[in-house]
């Protein structure tokens, strides 16, 4: 039974799914706005929110955790830019805007971006 297993599987095994979310988070931090499927955007939102909140701590341990998840270049951006930009904000750092339906397979698309 799948009680309380709320995360989406995306038809992937655990390590590949984890790599997908890490990669999406890295791209979102680097480009500040990405277009992906609606399901992936909804799964990415809580992941990136936790990373930004962790970056606001400004500790070495927080930097290392972020670095392990999204890489050194993106972690520097999170700690230096986003942590200062969202210092007085409790949450809600991202927004998801529903976009067009993809022609090739009919997937619902969405744009996920940081709130200014």
The reported pLDDT for the residue numbered 1 is 84
Higher confidence at residue 70 or residue 6?
Answer: 70
CATH no. for 33-114: 3.90.1030.10
The reported pLDDT for the residue numbered 93 is 97
pLDDT per residue as tens digits for the range 32-88: 999 999 999 999 999 999 999 999 999 999 999 999 999 999 999 999 999 999 999
The pair of structure tokens assigned to 93 is: 């750092």
Q: Quick one: average pLDDT of 99-112?
A: 97
- Per the rule left: phi > 0, alpha: psi between -120 and 50, beta: everything else, 80 is alpha
Query: 7 pLDDT band (50/70/90 cuts)?
Result: confident
């Amino acid at each position: 039974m799948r009680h309380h297993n709320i995360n989406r599987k995306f038809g992937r095994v655990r390590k590949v799914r984890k790599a997908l979310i890490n990669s999406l988070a890295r791209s979102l931090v680097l480009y500040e706005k990405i277009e992906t499927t609606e399901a992936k955007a909804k799964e990415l939102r809580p992941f990136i929110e936790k990373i930004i909140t962790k970056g606001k701590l400004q500790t070495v341990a927080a930097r290392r955790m972020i670095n392990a998840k999204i890489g050194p270049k993106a972690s520097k951006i999170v700690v230096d830019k986003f942590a200062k930009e969202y210092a007085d904000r409790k949450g809600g750092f991202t927004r998801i805007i529903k976009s067009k339906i993809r022609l090739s397979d009919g997937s619902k698309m969405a744009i996920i971006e940081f709130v200014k």
